Structure formats: C-alpha cells, structure tokens
Structure 1
Amino acid sequence: MAGSKALPTFCFLLCAASCALAAASYDYMILSLIWPGTSCQPGWTGKPACCVDPLIDNPEPDFLVETMETYDSATGKLVAKCEPNCRFLINPLVDLLDDLYAYWPSLSCPAQNGKQVWKAAWCTFGNCTSLSEVNYFGRALQLRARADVLHALGSKAIIPSETKSYSLEDIEDALVPKIGFSAVVECTTEMGVLSREYLLSRVRICVSADGKSIIGCPFARKSNCGSKVKFYPFTDDMLGRPRHPAAGHIKLPSDKAMTQ
C-alpha cells in the first residue's frame, strides 16, 4: 500500500520536472548587433572605452555581433546556461577566425583576443541550441551580413555624424527592406548641455531556432530611444592601442557607396 501511495507523488514530481525542462527549451533566438561608434565612446576621463589585442587587426567599421541569445516563445524568457559543464573548443572554428576577429571581437579592456567572448556566448546560449559550434557562430555571422544594417541605414542617408541627429522613425523604416519588422533599435543615453541625448547602440533581430533566417519577433519589443537619435562615427583611436605610423582613421564606406 505504501508503494501505491508513493507512486502518484513520484509521477507528479517526474511530470513537474519534465514540464520544467520543456519550459526551458528555446525555439527562437535574438541576434544582438552593436555599433562600436557608441560603445567605444571615451568616458568623461577621455580614456578609451574599448581595447583590442595589438596582435589582431582592427574590427571592421560596421555593426558587430555582440551575442546571439536563446529564448522560449511560450514565455518570452531568456534560456541560458543549459550545460553546467560546458566545453568550448576553438579548433572547430579555425575557418571562421578571421571573420570572428573582424565582426565578433572582444572590445573589453584590458585587451583580449576574443576567445573569452566566444566561450561566454557558447556556454551561455550556444549550448542551449541543437547547433554545433561551427553552425552557431557561422550562422550568426551570416545573419549579420544578411541584415547589413550599416548599408541599410546608409541607403536612406543615415550616415555616422558627430553633429547630426536622425529620426528614430527614419532609422526603423530604413531597416524594414532588409530585416522586415523584426529589428528593435536600442540606444544608450548621455546628458548633453541642454538635454538628454540618445545614441544608437545596437540593433536586435529575431531569428529562427536553427539560425538560418530572420523571423518576426514572437513578442513585441519596443525601442528605448527617444524621437531623435545620434549616430556617432567609429574611429581607430577609440580602440586603446598605439597607432601604427602609417595608419589612418578607419574609413567608412563613402556616402555614394552606402546609398547604392
């Protein structure tokens, strides 16, 4: 009799555990692309906010991958750290290293070579997916290129500028032809002389669970930007490394090239 009474309790606990695991499963992702012209702005001390390993080339002057997060569309919640004993292997990524250094770099100070950033992304989100390391990182890079945020903005004459502000509505509309209505524009704020200024900091894009396509976001997400947004240029003196005597500033594509 004792065994028969214990059985329903055991079944209930087993079901609860199974439900909890199911609730924690991911079924879409969000690709987060940062604009280094904002994230690398020097602070009030004038010191660089970003650093790059001197043995590695500068990252590209473009929107860079910050991470690709896993989400559960049933709850809208982040799904993370699914494998407590996570293993990250750099060898499978050897063919992707040039692109990872260029488009998914470490910008933290003191300078790192990027492996810590990739390990953190893989062990926090990548191992919650059914993807291999190569597919997780490779497809994030492919989606970044497909979204082509910098060119999409440039095609509507939204060009990095130290002085000009742009309408948030114009920025969002510029992204629709490439990304659809999946993109969410995010800003950081700084206090200007007369008012608060919103600086374009990242674009977040919902993507399918297999990382192959851009999708509509299961949950509506709002921008935290104001109606007017600054889009600061990104220059190599923001990277906290000695300038090579022959090096010049990072050159963005010309206005003509970006509007084609």
Structure 2
Amino acid sequence: MKPNFSLFICFVCFLTLQQLHLPCFAQDFDFFYFVQQWPGAYCDSRQSCCYPKTGKPAADFGIHGLWPNYKSGGWPQNCNPDSEFDESQISDLLSNMQTEWPTLSCPSNDGVKFWTHEWTKHGTCAESELDQHDYFHAALKLKQKANLLHALSNAGIKPNDEFYGLREIKKAIEEAIGFTPGIECNKDSSHNSQLYQIYLCVDTSGAEFIECPVLPHGRCDSRIQFPKF
C-alpha cells in the first residue's frame, strides 16, 4: 500500500505552524496592554460620538480593552471564533461595565457590541489564563487600581482644554502607578494634539502592572491638550 504523501505533507505543515505560533487558536502571549480612553478626545475629533443608552458617561477615563501582546511588538487576535461573547456570563458585572467600560460609538447603544468585539478579538486570546468572566472582571479591577484622572489631577493636569507637557503627563502617571505609561494622541478639528489613550502593561494573569516590554507609538506632540468632556 502506497503511503499517502498528501496527508503526510499536511501533517508536517500543521506541526510547523504550531511551532511558529501562527494558527488562529494560538493563545500564548507575553503581557497585556490595559488601555483606557479619554472620552473628551474620542468625541472631539473627526470621529462622531454618541452617548450610550444609559446616558452621558462620567468625565473619567473609560476602559477600551485588555489586549494580549508579544514582546516582539505583535499581538494575537481572533484566536477562537467558537468562543462567543455570552452576556449571561458577566451578568453580575454589567452595572460596572456600563459605568467603567462605556461605548461612545454611533448609533447610541447598550455596549454589548463593543464588549463582544473586545472579547472576540482580544479576550479569546487570553482564554488560557482567563475565562470570559475573569477577563472582564480583571479589567474592571485594573481600572480601580489605576485611577488615572486622580493621578493627573493631583499633578495639576486637568481636563480643561489646556495644554500640558507630554513628559509631565507620563511622570504624573508613573509616580502614581509605579510604571511608565504609553500615551496615544489624536487630533481635534483644529489639528491640536490631544490626550486620547493611556496604555499600562499587565502580567499574563491580568492582575499586576508591570514595566512595558514595548510601548506603542503614540503620535503625540511635546505639548498636548487635555480636552473637556
């Protein structure tokens, strides 16, 4: 009986992809980016914003996501299409989710589409460490640990449309959290560079802040605006 070389080649290719960590279901990663977003900068840009159905969010940083990343600068995504977002699994978290992880996308909605996207794209790549409830709960706890608005306000940096030094902002957060943040800016309609998102790095358990192995490119000017909301 002749060997089935087609099956043999497929098997070899499968093993090679496993070793290269290329399959969609790969769940190994080195750290998380915990990303918080300033709503004033989201809304004060070319991108339209809508308040969620629960009303205007508080003038505070909101969670954007908890994103698995590699030290090389890449990241896994959409790791398990069979692991669907299940609202019932986080029913005890929904009230906090609406407050701390609000959506500003249009049209106005209840946030489920946003959370579904975050779980599908990012959360499924962390299932080796955190199940769905643990994933969202971890992000909420990290938000409590890193009170960014408080840290900035204590340093005299407030959302009042004034401009502040990028170094001042980083220093204020580093002194409060203990680790260097990544700062991302966007542009308002007048092309001013404004504080948009803040990245903190977290260990693979989703519990402890760490020094970032690699920081994102934030496209910020040396002085940036902290817009009102």
What is the TM-score normalised by the length of structure 1?
Answer: 0.78
Quote how far apart the aligned CAs of 1:8 are: 8.2
- Within 2, Cα distance between the matches of 1:212 and 1:121? 18
Aligned equivalent of 1:96? 93
Contact 2:187–2:193 (8 Å) recurs in 1: yes
Per-residue CA deviation, residues 20-39 of structure 1 (Å, 9 max, x unaligned), is: 33784222111110000111
Quote how far apart the aligned CAs of 1:53 are: 3.7
2:41 is paired with a residue whose SS is helix
Identical residues among aligned pairs (%): 29
Q: 1:29 aligned to 2:32?
A: yes
1:189/1:168 CA distance change after superposition, 3 Å: same
Aligned equivalent of 1:135? 134
- Within 2, Cα distance between the matches of 1:4 and 1:64? 55
1:200/1:9 CA distance change after superposition, 3 Å: same
1:218 pairs, out of 213, 216, 229, with 213
1:77 is paired with a residue whose SS is coil
1:1-260 equivalences under 5 Å are: 3=3, 12-21=12-21, 24=26, 25-41=28-44, 49-54=48-53, 56-73=54-71, 75-129=72-126, 130=128, 131-162=130-161, 164-190=162-188, 192=190, 196-234=191-229
Q: Which moved more, 1:8-17 or 1:80-89?
A: 8-17
Per-residue CA deviation, residues 144-179 of structure 1 (Å, 9 max, x unaligned), is: 1211110000010001113x2111111110001223
Quote how far apart the aligned CAs of 1:59 are: 2.1
- Within 2, Cα distance between the matches of 1:110 and 1:53? 9
Quote how far apart the aligned CAs of 1:223 are: 3.5
Give ranges in structure 2 of 5+ residues lacking alignment. Answer: none
Aligned equivalent of 1:245? none
Larger radius of gyration between Structure 1 and Structure 2: 1
What is the root-mean-square deviation in Å for CA atoms of aligned residues?
2.5
- Within 1, Cα distance between the matches of 2:79 and 2:59? 33
- Within 2, Cα distance between the matches of 1:40 and 1:223? 18
- Within 2, Cα distance between the matches of 1:81 and 1:223? 24
- Within 2, Cα distance between the matches of 1:14 and 1:139? 34
Q: How many residues align?
A: 224
- Within 2, Cα distance between the matches of 1:198 and 1:157? 19
- Within 2, Cα distance between the matches of 1:64 and 1:10? 46
- Within 2, Cα distance between the matches of 1:39 and 1:168? 18
- Within 2, Cα distance between the matches of 1:133 and 1:204? 22
- Within 2, Cα distance between the matches of 1:91 and 1:12? 41
Quote how far apart the aligned CAs of 1:9 are: 5.3
Contact 1:57–1:101 (8 Å) recurs in 2: no
- Within 1, Cα distance between the matches of 2:22 and 2:175? 35
2:16 is paired with a residue whose SS is helix
Contact 2:45–2:189 (8 Å) recurs in 1: no
1:79 is paired with a residue whose SS is coil
Quote how far apart the aligned CAs of 1:117 are: 0.6
Contact 1:29–1:69 (8 Å) recurs in 2: yes
Contact 2:202–2:209 (8 Å) recurs in 1: yes
